[in-house]
Amino acid sequence: MTSTLTVALLAGGRSSEHDVSLASARAVREGLERAGHEVRWVEIERDGAWRHGGERLTLCPGEGLLDADVVFPALHGPFGEDGTVQGLLETLDVAYVGAGVASSALCMDKVLFKELMSACGVPQVEYVGTRVQRWRETPAEVLGEIAGLGLPIFVKPAHLGSSVGIAKVADASQLGEALDRAFAHDPLVIVEAMAHGMEVECAVLGVIDKEGRSSPACGRLRHPLGLASVPGEIVFAEEWYDYAAKYRDGGMQLVVPARISAAASARVRELALEVFAYTGCEGLARVDFFVDGEQVLVNELNTMPGFTPTSVYAKLTEASGVPYPELVDRLCQLGIERWEAGRAYQY
């Protein structure tokens, strides 16, 4: 454990994942306190107001946040995990946990993320991205492109998490309605082909050295030194891994280690580190996969996954030798190291 830190903990937020964030933040607070740190709770209301101790906060650029050594943004979804809050924290000139502005924005945009993965040659499911204006102006053209994916398919808002707004479509006659529902949440929608095999997740705990330099290459790719956890297998009672399966008691079970071959497990960990590097992530990430025999496909990367001790990320890191209080402590230290390294550059 590090010396005692003062940590400003951000909870809530404007997105539909407000309540999930509160649960994550309560667990983070307990973990930080068990690690010996002082926590200053900042709750972001659904209307976007920031409050501490019941009083609305006024933020001043360059003056930090509540004299904290580091900020832990336990926020999920838009207006918290998409680079907006990260940009604000950069403006405040305060250290913070997790991915920076560009990486957060990139990974929150499912279409942009998949386009980057495609350019990097990362194996993934087939997909089509489309914007609401194009859907309204040339629906037949959009439907024609999507038809190439076959059935069933998944229709998703491009910038939401926790499976909000997602629909599984097994009948082409239902596709238009599913697109309209997704566009109610987001002007950009992604449609993905059905992936076979099991859902497998891998936690990455990133590290930078005291000089802030990238570590030596791992495999064929240079990337910040990262620890890839033992992969875990998601087993769910529902037809697919939807919101209910993720958050209802008994909706899912995590099997650690995943029941896959040694070669597939190694490939999952290798790809997790590569994707972490390609996206420029720092601190932490959970990378999700589909595994069918020896075939491993990347699904997505979550820069701030659910953070209760029973959440997948925490379970995977604990199974890999990092207990929860040590995990949150280490993430705070990583945030401080990055901030200190960044101050050495001239802008």
Neighbours of 276 (CB within 10 A): 29
Domain ranges for the chain: 6-104, 127-193, 196-341
Classify 131 as helix, strand or coil: strand
Predicted confidence at residue 223, as pLDDT, reads 47
CATH number assigned to the domain with residue range 127-193, chosen from the 4 options 3.30.1490.20, 3.30.1360.170, 3.40.50.11900, 3.40.50.300: 3.30.1490.20
- From first to last of its 347 residues, the chain has per-residue pLDDT tens of 558 999 999 999 999 899 999 999 999 999 999 999 999 999 999 999 999 999 999 999 999 999 999 999 999 999 999 999 999 999 999 999 999 999 999 999 999 999 999 999 999 999 999 999 999 999 999 999 999 999 999 999 999 865 678 999 999 999 999 999 999 999 999 999 999 899 999 999 987 554 444 333 333 333 455 789 999 999 987 665 555 555 556 668 999 999 999 999 999 999 999 999 999 999 999 999 999 999 999 999 999 999 998 899 999 999 999 999 999 999 999 999 999 999 989 88
What per-residue confidence (pLDDT) applies to 346? 87
Virtual torsion, Cα 239, 246, 107, 179, nearest 10 deg: 40
The span from the first CA to the last CA of the chain, in angstroms, equals 33
Tokens at 129, concatenated? 């991205």
Q: pLDDT at position 221, please? A: 37
d(CA 183, CA 164): 12
Residue among 34, 97, 32, 44 at smallest CA distance from 71: 97
Where does 60-136 show beta strands of DSSP type E? 70-73, 127-131
Q: What's the pLDDT at 225? A: 55
Q: Would you state the CATH architecture of domain 6-104?
A: 3-Layer(aba) Sandwich (3.40)
pLDDT for the residue 249: 63
φ, ψ of residue 274 to 5 degrees: the values are -65, -45
Quick one: pLDDT at residue 242? 52
20 φ, ψ (degrees, to nearest 5): -65, -40
The string of DSSP codes covering 255-291 is ESS-SS-HHHHHHHHHHHHHHHHHTT--SEEEEEEEE
Other C-beta atoms closer than 10 Å to the C-beta of 136 total 11
Which pLDDT value is given to residue 2?
58
Phi, psi (deg, nearest 5) at residue 145? -65, -45
CATH number of the domain located at residue range(s) 196-341 in this protein:
3.30.470.20
Q: How far apart are CA 218 and CA 227, in angstroms?
A: 11
Q: Which of 128-131's residues contact partners 24+ apart within 8 Å by CB, and which partners?
A: 128/190, 128/191, 129/158, 129/188, 129/189, 129/190, 129/191, 130/179, 130/188, 130/189, 130/191, 131/187, 131/188, 131/189
Cite the active site residues.
Answer: 17, 162, 247, 286, 288, 300, 302, 306
- pLDDT for res 163: 65
